[in-house]
Chain A
């Protein structure tokens, strides 16, 4: 019987050895879980920047095409000139169906961090608060992109849910805008209680805005933009103009919000073609062979400086392509972009120049035409090298608005604003189509997968 006992024992041993079935995934880390360590919090926080950046260049390009700042003549992908210019927008494609999944993925990453940050015993209460403020601000930023792209009243906001819960219901854009304002205000409160330093590094794109107290300025700058969008005629929250001015005042210490401070001062997404895991700026192309080219509207309306040379902003962003390039079906351009001159040129998220223009817009909205004119003229002179228009303050609101539009066009050219601006002032119809049948969209459709999943 000893043999049998031995065998039984052997059997017991080998089967006991088999009991460890908790095989973890060696290829990728799990999502951030309870009581995250300091490096895990840092990786998750940096992840929010990466996730928010994921769609940035594609969005800037799409705004440029739909707002007729430029084209992309890609023989391998004709939808840049078909779907985005003559439509119809396909909610099943990455074009018509864009600015959704990537943003909600970024939002999901942020909620994953927010859901566990309170258990992170390695972090002080102030640090936890700083992380919360950072995450709420980044969620607000991603929602703002969704809202800029979609004006249908079908935005899910209550998305901090698990997959086995029901889908977040759609709300109207007005509700969604208010929700984003709440998110930014939560961020403000949390950043204020966030101590003197973040428990992670924000990288060079946030230089000058990388402490809770300075990041707060970024939060307020986004608030200024958000409130201006709410205030503009498309939504028409007239009381929101005051909120714009309040937010700009709060953002001023870090940005300047003043022409005495460099207009480029602000927050950027950085890119790199060489750093590990990083991506190159897709808006960069060799200007002699570029397929991302400039729309003639940009050249058509450009003003000259006193010395007869063109607006400095134009000269800094546009250059002759060398030879003309055409779509093969009626569109052509002989100008290339030099707005992003290298693969590692950063793309602005928000900068001082926009804040000054937002202040002008808010003052105009409130009827403070003189103050609006002062800021607009300051931008003309400082940014464009153009002469000030002495009569602007007395020219009346419509003329000031037109001038504001023009300055926004050139100051924020190829930075993702033109199409949004045209829409929120209901000005899409003022554009002349290049070809019969070209369309000016006012919104992207809700993606197919979102609609189908709710059926």
Chain B
């Protein structure tokens, strides 16, 4: 096959030869302005149609472009504006353009292949586009959460409230069960890693020692969080196989194509922005207040009375503000931080006709609400575009990022050490604070509530994540041939994404829980070094043929990607006080894990624009192989085909309507290592190393999951461009699912991953845009979108109809259970005793996927004032609230002691139980629904008010300034939800295709307020 590509490339080259460019004989000058305001449009691209000649406008909107003699057509494009075009007669030397704003991105170019794009008006898929300006409006921990509410069809939710990110992006439903969960991220043509490396806190928290051994219960950050949102020019999101087929076997969760800012022609333009902000605990769980010692004694035994005595036998005695029986707000003490957060962004752009540059820098310091938590990031990007010759362009991108996160100790835990896990068992009458004599409130004596004092843990512990990352890429475009009808370009992309992640965890021997969880070996120091390198390149040949009646774009290319991950972990226990080096402990263990993957694919694609650019036909195919497949040498084919047709003025008020339909397939390659039967060589006997067979058998025939998507829809431009409508229906089927298969143990193995089963998603996306007002002094743009998805397990391997548990903890706590006919994200649990009076009937009690989502954005500009907000609504998902269960077990839930009347108790199924919390506990195990709650929400994710200083004022203050803006903004200021936990956006297991929405002592949700000054000069 390789030979075939080379031959194809050579053949094309032979056929077309190389033509000379045209002699350039005159210059055309002019000015480009905003049709509404009359202001200059800087950075617009001016081109002579039919030639490769381009120029850009300067700050004043002026341009100068070379043109051949004779009559020519000059075209102008600028981001955010509709295109302009004008004929320039032979003797005419200047032309001006007044461009209309393109508020709904109707004329944007969207991705249609590895190296091709297509105008939105022809696009056969509902590709979501979000501009960088929208993204950067309100500060956020990481870039993905900025997309929430802006992409119809996407469920974007944070896994916890921790600073620094950890966000799941799920596009159009459930696309796998055990395969990769995250979309493919492509930045300037380079695939970037979104891997999440856990910090190894499970050594201390034993989070993997319960009924779910997943190592991903450590609030890990998925590394796309390293990207600087300010560098982003736009984000395009391919939501399913019909759009992403050309990306092949890593694209089944969709593709997020990110383009960063490039340099603009002209003198250096500086933009600087300074933000000051503060995070604030958004929702307190609260804790039961014990009104007197009797209530405390009833709950915790006679020893609890001591906390209500007014003498030195009270364990709280010794605090200057001592009050017997006082209720403390442990949550505020732990998560009440209000330290100042800052963000400084500076970018410079400029260049001449041959060389352009963009430099973007960011220094960010988010202070977390939990004690000693926060996230710092510094990044420096350099994008350089070099015009080598009229035919040869090189674009170079480079991004250096450093981040440092401190995320505390949160999420599931089996040792009673993570903060909220401990608070679940600590009553409010116990003073946790450090006393003047430097001792801490004990949670062990006189009553053994729980091993750890979370305030002491948060004060003394270290859990730092330090990441250095370099993203670099080169894109080279060589025009092999250019004539009136033919254009042949060779486009090569190559790049590397390297990061080193270092996790330093230190638990000093002074911590109260240390002697309990590590008897005889107090103190622990954990060091994890992760090293990740992705390299990839692709080479594409694009031929555009314009005979006049049609435009045919033929592209073909190939791509290789290599991925290497190397994680080394050191665990050192029994440390002397004050020493955290891992060699200081007496009990040291080490572990190394490596992954190495190589993928190769090639593709071909044809796009035909016919009938006056009204009809688009596209077809293509990609073939991929991967070292993760059982047969590394086998190619898997993924075809695609699509069509769209534009109807001009089909109805009154409808300027243009497009009907579109698209089909495509992609894969989701097996996870690393599934093909190997890994001999277990980690064990020894008497100092002798041994090799034994492992429990999990390798799968020599493992192959990618295959997704088939069909989408169709209508896009309409209404009322002269003031309104838009985008309606999409889709069906996504995933077959050959990667599923664990239980083996007869007499084979010597217990399980094996095999392909099998099938699931389906069907959904609707509706996006509306409307600009009710579009006057020079008053503009209002409003967008609303609605989307819903229904997934369904169609079949399981071997005709299994009973299904099996695929995630969560035990089903009595609420588990994810795959069963034909049910939603793929169905939550199962106990529904009471069966007909024989035995525990229990297992059935569906909820779903992690919402019934529907609604988002609404508004932007109003009035003179110097601009106001925008983004509302995001989710209806109908469920969260398994184990945090609440644990609070109940600890008898400290805020509403635990709420009295129940006899009638209420009977109605709740707990006759005779006097208080609410105890009543819930009687249901635990029998009725899992008791702790599975609705996760509907309405969030005001973003709100911003901006004032642009009048030019006169600016001139007075700072002669060089172009503009100065002041703004006030907030994130998540309003959240309305019936969910009683911290945040309905939660995932104890991080990014997961299925087992999300499990709430186990997460980092609490915050809201943030920001004041921003930005200036350009």
Interface residues of A, Cβ cutoff 8 Å to B: 1, 3-5, 7-8, 11-12, 14-16, 18-23, 25-32, 40, 43-51, 53, 100-101, 104-109, 111-112, 156, 159, 161, 163, 167-168, 201, 203-205, 269-270, 272, 275-279, 447, 449-450, 452-454
Q: For A21, list chain B residues within 8 Å (CB).
A: 598, 600, 625, 627, 632-633
Contact between A270 and B746 (Cβ–Cβ < 8 Å)? no
Contact between B9 and A275 (Cβ–Cβ < 8 Å)? no
Contact between A1 and B14 (Cβ–Cβ < 8 Å)? yes
7 CB contacts below 8 A, A to B, read A7-B13, A16-B2, A27-B595, A30-B677, A46-B684, A107-B748, A453-B742
Contact between A46 and B10 (Cβ–Cβ < 8 Å)? no
Partner of A23, one of B537, B598, B745: B598
Residue of B nearest to A17 (CB): B560
Mask, B584-600, CB within 8 Å of A = 1, is 00000000111111101
Report the Cα distance A104→B10, complex, angstroms: 58
Least Cβ distance of B838 to chain A in Å? 12
With A31-B679, A105-B693 as given contacts, are A278 and B633 in contact (CB-CB < 8 Å)? no
With A18-B560, A108-B748 as given contacts, are A270 and B685 in contact (CB-CB < 8 Å)? yes
Partner of B632, one of A4, A22, A40, A104: A22
Contact between B597 and A23 (Cβ–Cβ < 8 Å)? yes
Q: For B688, list chain A residues within 8 Å (CB).
A: 46, 201, 203
B680 CB–A CB distance under 8 Å? yes
Mask, B874-913, CB within 8 Å of A = 1, is 0000000000000000000000000000000000000000
Contact between B679 and A29 (Cβ–Cβ < 8 Å)? yes
Q: For B2, list chain A residues within 8 Å (CB).
A: 12, 15-16, 18-19
Interface residues of B, Cβ cutoff 8 Å to A: 2-3, 5-6, 9-10, 13-14, 17-18, 480, 490, 537, 539, 558, 560, 592-598, 600, 625, 627, 632-633, 673, 676-695, 697, 742-750, 752
Known contacts A101-B695, A449-B750; 9 further A-B pairs (Cβ under 8 A): A19-B2, A21-B600, A29-B678, A29-B681, A50-B685, A111-B748, A168-B746, A205-B686, A276-B687
Q: For B752, list chain A residues within 8 Å (CB).
A: 163
Residue of B nearest to A160 (CB): B748
Contact between B9 and A8 (Cβ–Cβ < 8 Å)? yes
Partner of B744, one of A3, A201, A449: A449
Partner of A47, one of B539, B600, B676, B690: B690
With A32-B691, A159-B747 as given contacts, are A275 and B686 in contact (CB-CB < 8 Å)? yes
With A14-B560, A449-B745 as given contacts, are A105 and B692 in contact (CB-CB < 8 Å)? yes
Max chain A CB contacts within 10 Å: which of B3, B13, B558, B684?
B684
Q: For A109, list chain B residues within 8 Å (CB).
A: 691-693, 748
Report the Cα distance A229→B748, complex, angstroms: 25
With A50-B683, A105-B695, A106-B692 as given contacts, are A26 and B632 in contact (CB-CB < 8 Å)? no
Residue of B nearest to A206 (CB): B686
Q: For A449, list chain B residues within 8 Å (CB).
A: 742-745, 750
Q: For A108, list chain B residues within 8 Å (CB).
A: 693, 747-749
Report the Cα distance A47→B638, complex, angstroms: 44
Least Cβ distance of B300 to chain A in Å? 18
Partner of A447, one of B558, B596, B632, B745: B745
Contact between A47 and B746 (Cβ–Cβ < 8 Å)? no
Secondary structure of the B contact surface, majority rule: mixed
Contact between A26 and B594 (Cβ–Cβ < 8 Å)? yes
Least Cβ distance of B415 to chain A in Å? 12
Q: For A23, list chain B residues within 8 Å (CB).
A: 596-598, 627, 632
Q: For B627, list chain A residues within 8 Å (CB).
A: 21-23
Contact between A46 and B690 (Cβ–Cβ < 8 Å)? yes
Contact between B632 and A46 (Cβ–Cβ < 8 Å)? no
Report the Cα distance A48→B690, complex, angstroms: 8
Least Cβ distance of A146 to chain B in Å? 9
Least Cβ distance of A183 to chain B in Å? 16
Report the Cα distance A31→B687, complex, angstroms: 21
Report the Cα distance A223→B3, complex, angstroms: 65
Contact between A163 and B687 (Cβ–Cβ < 8 Å)? no
Contact between B6 and A11 (Cβ–Cβ < 8 Å)? yes
Report the Cα distance A51→B677, complex, angstroms: 16
Q: For A275, list chain B residues within 8 Å (CB).
A: 684, 686-687
Contact between A15 and B558 (Cβ–Cβ < 8 Å)? yes
Contact between B490 and A7 (Cβ–Cβ < 8 Å)? yes
Report the Cα distance A105→B749, complex, angstroms: 6
Partner of B673, one of A25, A49, A167, A270: A25
Residue of B nearest to A451 (CB): B744
Q: For B17, list chain A residues within 8 Å (CB).
A: 1
Partner of B692, one of A15, A27, A51, A276: A51
Q: For B10, list chain A residues within 8 Å (CB).
A: 4-5, 8
With A4-B10, A163-B697, A277-B682 as given contacts, are A14 and B537 in contact (CB-CB < 8 Å)? yes
Report the Cα distance A185→B407, complex, angstroms: 62
Contact between B742 and A46 (Cβ–Cβ < 8 Å)? no
Max chain B CB contacts within 10 Å: which of A16, A53, A163?
A163
Nearest 6 pairs between A and B by C-beta? A108-B748, A277-B684, A4-B13, A453-B744, A101-B745, A203-B686
Least Cβ distance of A247 to chain B in Å? 26
Q: For A14, list chain B residues within 8 Å (CB).
A: 537, 539, 560
Contact between B594 and A27 (Cβ–Cβ < 8 Å)? yes
Residue of B nearest to A51 (CB): B692
Contact between B686 and A40 (Cβ–Cβ < 8 Å)? no
Q: For B744, list chain A residues within 8 Å (CB).
A: 156, 167, 449-450, 453-454
Contact between A1 and B13 (Cβ–Cβ < 8 Å)? yes
Least Cβ distance of A141 to chain B in Å? 15
Q: For A49, list chain B residues within 8 Å (CB).
A: 685, 690
Q: For B748, list chain A residues within 8 Å (CB).
A: 104-105, 107-109, 111, 159
Partner of A27, one of B558, B560, B632, B678: B678
Partner of A104, one of B625, B686, B746: B746
Least Cβ distance of B122 to chain A in Å? 30
Contact between A18 and B598 (Cβ–Cβ < 8 Å)? yes
Q: For A111, list chain B residues within 8 Å (CB).
A: 748
Least Cβ distance of A135 to chain B in Å? 13
Contact between B13 and A8 (Cβ–Cβ < 8 Å)? yes
Report the Cα distance A18→B745, complex, angstroms: 39
Residue of B nearest to A9 (CB): B6
Partner of A53, one of B597, B633, B685, B745: B685
Max chain B CB contacts within 10 Å: which of A26, A45, A272?
A26
Report the Cα distance A18→B746, complex, angstroms: 40
Residue of A nearest to B741 (CB): A453
Partner of B685, one of A101, A106, A161, A203: A203
Least Cβ distance of B594 to chain A in Å? 4
Q: For B539, list chain A residues within 8 Å (CB).
A: 11, 14
Residue of B nearest to A170 (CB): B746
Report the Cα distance A28→B694, complex, angstroms: 10
Least Cβ distance of B697 to chain A in Å? 6
Contact between A43 and B690 (Cβ–Cβ < 8 Å)? yes
With A21-B600, A105-B695 as given contacts, are A4 and B742 in contact (CB-CB < 8 Å)? no
Contact between A161 and B6 (Cβ–Cβ < 8 Å)? no
Q: For B689, list chain A residues within 8 Å (CB).
A: 43, 46, 277
Partner of A452, one of B3, B480, B537, B742: B742
Least Cβ distance of B811 to chain A in Å? 13
Report the Cα distance A441→B691, complex, angstroms: 35
Least Cβ distance of B441 to chain A in Å? 26
Residue of B nearest to A158 (CB): B746
Contact between B745 and A277 (Cβ–Cβ < 8 Å)? no
Least Cβ distance of A235 to chain B in Å? 22
Contact between A50 and B687 (Cβ–Cβ < 8 Å)? no
Partner of B746, one of A28, A201, A278, A450: A450
With A14-B560, A23-B597 as given contacts, are A50 and B692 in contact (CB-CB < 8 Å)? yes
Report the Cα distance A48→B593, complex, angstroms: 25
Least Cβ distance of B336 to chain A in Å? 34
Least Cβ distance of A171 to chain B in Å? 12
Report the Cα distance A4→B481, complex, angstroms: 11
Least Cβ distance of B701 to chain A in Å? 9
Contact between B678 and A11 (Cβ–Cβ < 8 Å)? no
